[in-house]
A and B are shown apart, each in its own frame.
Chain A
């Protein structure tokens, strides 16, 4: 779950990390009111959940109070990479002496949190990583221990800080790590962390992405996420299914993420075919879940066929396909449906599907099923 910048800043602030004065504006008038109370110049920042916002025009500095509502009005109406802003963060512009990058994420191979800091803060940090990776200093944290301030003094010195700002930055790292851990973070990032001309250290941009699997520990955030979801999406999520809409003509239901990706690769080998979606059922297949899956797939326009690729390991596929059959009967579907379903109780599974006219591929190779599907549709590689 990705949090908006203003939400992340609220949390950072609660943990004692200093952020510039300001607040969230939903309408231009509110932006002006905030600017009046904190004084110009202000920075207006679109609250959208995509990266590269600054380069896409989602951040503007306004020097005169008269212009705040005009600029705010325009920004609130401007989509960033296809996303409409949820509001504008209006912050007092700070006098920057030095910009630092500070981030915490997980090293997937080692399975440990890594703290990263660089003197080359700002929007070009990924380029720094490509060209001068030695300018990013890293500290791996032992997941079984707390992080102590003394452990990170060295990397903070390496970015050129000393005296008060050194100590303050060390404390910010410890606080950020605490947030990362207590909120089940995947990424906690401050970019830039600014050393002002007044020698203060301020968090000028906050990123916090949380682990969806851990939201049961954060009921308030979980509730907010659930409120934004449809009833069907909630049911899918509860069962561990994942759906991603794509632009294609073959509806897809697979019982594993790897299997789904592999199947998509094979479908794409036919220039006239492409997956309409990614749908992975997870390990919680039931008849009802498969009804939801089928309905979700069928919502897509221009479907030429549906392909089911299922394995009965933990999943009772013989139960699941009853849901598939139900939808086929109720909706009187007339597009071809091809299924490859193997594993525990495969014979029962085949029988249920064959009775409603599904083409069953008993071969173990997904490729054979895709070839059959292509032949049905009259397309070639």
Chain B
């Protein structure tokens, strides 16, 4: 078991003919990911690594059953591509692209919600179920199969946490990057819920960072709904706060957002909080044994 993806997951790559799309398609295939088709408008009929390329997602879903679409498209067309995937009936969309306008992300998120699709990202490294399937850009050699679910707002920190767990023999059921943008398609709570229901996952690790109120919201949810042990870490305790203009941001966050506020909320919810990154493996080990 795992969440969202496994060895049978059929994958579409949008933006497959671009530089990054092609390189990452190679890496994913090497790890056994079942990429059945690619899409780049205007490049229909071509092949990338033997994967057939279509002009539209609609054409691709007419030929293949597709569970997940992963996107390596330029930021300025990302909204169009995400809406296209959702309209074609794809239920999990993984958006790797960085620097997408936040107003576009808000529209995509609202649209996904309306169509009951899951949007992971933007600026996500993707999802990996070690030993079975990887979707996105995560370097596979950092991960190994096992009982820990990882949810990370940062991509690179997810790699490091997984590698450090593997170093003491603890693997991962699934690791997932939320994306560190101002607005994420899917929030921490949504993924926590999935890990809580997954039988293979014994412990969940949350890798958060300063800014926003997702960790505080998750803390409340953990207290009420999560039965599994949770370890959390917040990056950026020593980062100086940015210069703020206007009051709207402060009002909406209402004093939340700092490392201190997040750590307090998570501790109060019964989560084991690691003050430094390197404390995570020992905390997880304690909870597993």
Contact = CB atoms under 8 A, between A and B. Distances in A.
A366 B110 contact: no
List the 10 closest A-B pairs by CB distance, nearest first: A258-B154, A256-B156, A214-B101, A343-B139, A364-B163, A261-B236, A105-B248, A103-B248, A259-B156, A367-B278
Given A259-B156, A261-B236, A262-B157, A103 B245 contact: no
A256 B154 contact: yes
Interface string A158-192: 00000000000000000000000100101111010
A266 B75 contact: no
B105 to A, nearest CB: 7
Interface stretch (B35-43, B176-184, B261-269): B176-184
B194 interface: no
Interface residues of A, number: 70
Contacts of B61: none
Contacts of B102: 106, 184, 186, 211, 213-214
Q: Is the interface of A mostly helix, strand, loop or mixed?
A: mixed
14 contacts: A2-B245, A106-B252, A126-B247, A184-B101, A187-B249, A211-B101, A214-B101, A254-B156, A259-B156, A261-B236, A265-B236, A265-B277, A313-B125, A365-B277
Contact of A265 (B109, B237, B248): B237
B225 interface: no
Contacts of B76: 216
A352 B155 CA distance: 25
A344 B104 CA distance: 31
B100 interface: yes
A216 B109 CA distance: 21
Interface in A231-273: 240, 246, 254-259, 261-262, 264-266, 268-269
A258 B180 contact: yes
Contact of A51 (B125, B159, B187, B245): B245
Given A111-B184, A189-B248, A257-B180, A130 B160 contact: no
A265 B238 contact: yes
Given A2-B245, A256-B156, A278-B239, A142 B110 contact: yes
B217 interface: yes
